[in-house]
């Protein structure tokens, strides 16, 4: 008795002992049709990247709605459920010290985040270096082993004894960032080792050097002149000082001559003003009779004459 099996396009199907494929025309069931269509669909979509789901996870919501510093005056009950989720996660963070990522410190880009409860209990960020890429970020196993020998308790979060073989320094830095298109600034405290502290101050130090270089470029001529004076011989220095002294003396003499000319001009102007004022006083004096006015015009001299009275002379 021979056995029959189905064979469809794209499906190799079972083969007989002689290598022949047995086909049948019996109607297929719903399950068989579903499997055939699924195999065809898989054959067409083989090698393609599956489409990204449209729904958002809680992590996506946190990335979208998280804020580095939230306003404490806002009531969480009045927020949307996405903001309430982000606010609930924000309350679980410890914001006394921050952790810093100095991967792109040369370009001035620095990333900060707050610490979680596990990091606070293990002493990361305040008893170790806060840089995520530093070798002193994790507590030293030798120091932890010594502490476990003394007492079988985890490190005290309030302790100030470092858990690494490096000197740590606490720094307070202004952190400027852009959040939802808005520029914000806040003060953040970090604990870093000496090398990471230099990296954190690299951007500010570089900006300071650029400002100094620009100032030197502006005053480059004066600096080159000073260098030339420093390299010139003693006789040339004495000659240059003598020329400078002569130039200053000439300048003082010119200023004095200019002041004397100005004072003489003021005196001439004052004398002219006095003469014009006297002439004006004579012109605006009381009117003389015609006979006296004609006689005064005939006897007028350049010298200043005493003022005559307008009344007729008395007879003796």
User: Lowest-confidence range among 11-25, 79-93, 112-126, 237-251?
Assistant: 11-25
| Kind and range of the H or E run holding 168 | strand 168-179
Q: How much is the mean pLDDT over the chain?
A: 77
Domain definitions of the chain by residue range? 1-43, 93-193
Per-residue pLDDT at 255 exceeds 50: yes
The Cα diameter of the chain in Å comes to 189
User: Lowest-confidence range among 49-53, 116-120, 304-308?
Assistant: 304-308
| Average pLDDT of the segment spanning 116-139 | 92
Neighbours of 300 (CB within 10 A): 9
Q: Which residue has the higher pLDDT, 145 or 234?
A: 145
Per-residue pLDDT at 126 exceeds 70: yes
User: Lowest-confidence range among 92-101, 145-154, 213-222, 266-275?
Assistant: 266-275
User: Which letter does DSSP use for residue 297 in this model?
Assistant: H
- Entry pTM: 0.51
- Read off the tokens for 208: 């300071």
> CA–CA separation, 136 vs 196, rounded Å?
10
Per-residue pLDDT at 161 exceeds 80: yes
- Return all residues near 265 (Cβ < 8 A) that are at least 6 apart: none
Percent of residues, the chain, with pLDDT higher than 90: 28
Q: What is the pLDDT of residue 16?
A: 46
Q: Which residue has the higher pLDDT, 87 or 231?
A: 87
Closest Cα to residue 58, out of 86, 39, 80?
86
pLDDT band, very low/low/confident/very high, at 152 (cuts 50, 70, 90): low
Per-residue pLDDT at 192 exceeds 90: yes
The burial class, CB within 10 Å (0-12 / 13-18 / 19+), for 12 is exposed
Spatial contact of 155 and 122, defined as CB atoms under 8 Å apart: yes
Neighbours of 43 (CB within 10 A): 10
Q: Which residue has the higher pLDDT, 203 or 53?
A: 203
> CA–CA separation, 93 vs 19, rounded Å?
69
Per-residue pLDDT at 304 exceeds 70: no
pLDDT single digits (tens) 54-107: 778 888 899 999 999 998 888 988 999 999 999 999 999 999 999 999 999 988
Per-residue pLDDT at 110 exceeds 80: yes
Beta bridge partners of 266: none
Per-residue pLDDT at 283 exceeds 80: no
Q: What is the pLDDT of residue 286?
A: 56
Per-residue pLDDT at 184 exceeds 90: yes
- Read off the tokens for 66: 């998280």
> What does the H/E/C string look like for 240-279?
HHHHHHHHHHHHHHHHHHHHHHHHHHHHHHHHHHHHHHHH
Beta bridge partners of 174: 187
Residue corresponding to tokens 């009275």: 309
Per-residue pLDDT at 300 exceeds 50: yes
- Read off the tokens for 242: 């003598």
> CA–CA separation, 99 vs 116, rounded Å?
10
Closest Cα to residue 169, out of 121, 204, 201?
201
Beta bridge partners of 171: 190
User: Lowest-confidence range among 9-18, 141-150, 222-231?
Assistant: 9-18
Q: Which residue has the higher pLDDT, 144 or 9?
A: 144
């Amino acid at each position: 008795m021979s056995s029959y099996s189905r064979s469809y396009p794209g499906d190799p199907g079972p083969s007989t002992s002689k290598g022949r494929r047995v086909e049948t025309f019996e109607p297929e069931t719903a399950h068989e049709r579903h499997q055939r269509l699924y195999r065809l669909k898989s054959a067409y979509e083989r090698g393609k990247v599956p489409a990204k789901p449209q729904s958002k996870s809680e992590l996506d919501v946190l990335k979208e709605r998280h804020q580095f510093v939230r306003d404490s005056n806002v009531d969480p009950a009045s927020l949307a459920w996405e903001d309430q989720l982000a606010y609930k996660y924000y309350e679980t963070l410890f914001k006394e010290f921050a952790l810093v990522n100095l991967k792109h410190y040369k370009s001035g880009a620095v990333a900060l985040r707050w610490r979680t409860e596990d990091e606070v209990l293990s002493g990361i960020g305040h008893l170790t270096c806060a840089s995520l890429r530093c070798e002193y970020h994790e507590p030293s196993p030798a120091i932890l082993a010594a502490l476990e020998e003394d007492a079988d308790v985890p490190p005290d979060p309030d302790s100030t004894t470092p858990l690494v073989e490096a000197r740590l320094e606490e720094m307070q830095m202004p952190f400027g960032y852009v959040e939802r298109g808005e520029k914000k600034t806040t003060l953040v405290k970090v604990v870093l080792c000496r090398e990471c502290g230099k990296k954190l101050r690299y951007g500010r130090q570089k900006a300071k050097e650029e400002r100094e270089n620009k100032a030197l470029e502006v005053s480059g001529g004066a600096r080159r002149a000073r260098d030339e004076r420093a390299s010139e011989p003693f006789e040339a220095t004495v000659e240059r000082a003598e020329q400078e002294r002569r130039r200053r003396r000439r300048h003082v003499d010119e200023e004095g001559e200019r002041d004397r000319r100005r004072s003489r001009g003021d005196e001439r102007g004052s004398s002219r003003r006095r003469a014009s004022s006297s002439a004006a006083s004579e012109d605006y004096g009381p009117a003389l009779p015609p006979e006296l006015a004609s006689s005064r015009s005939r006897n007028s001299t350049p010298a200043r004459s005493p003022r005559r009275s307008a009344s007729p002379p008395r007879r003796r």
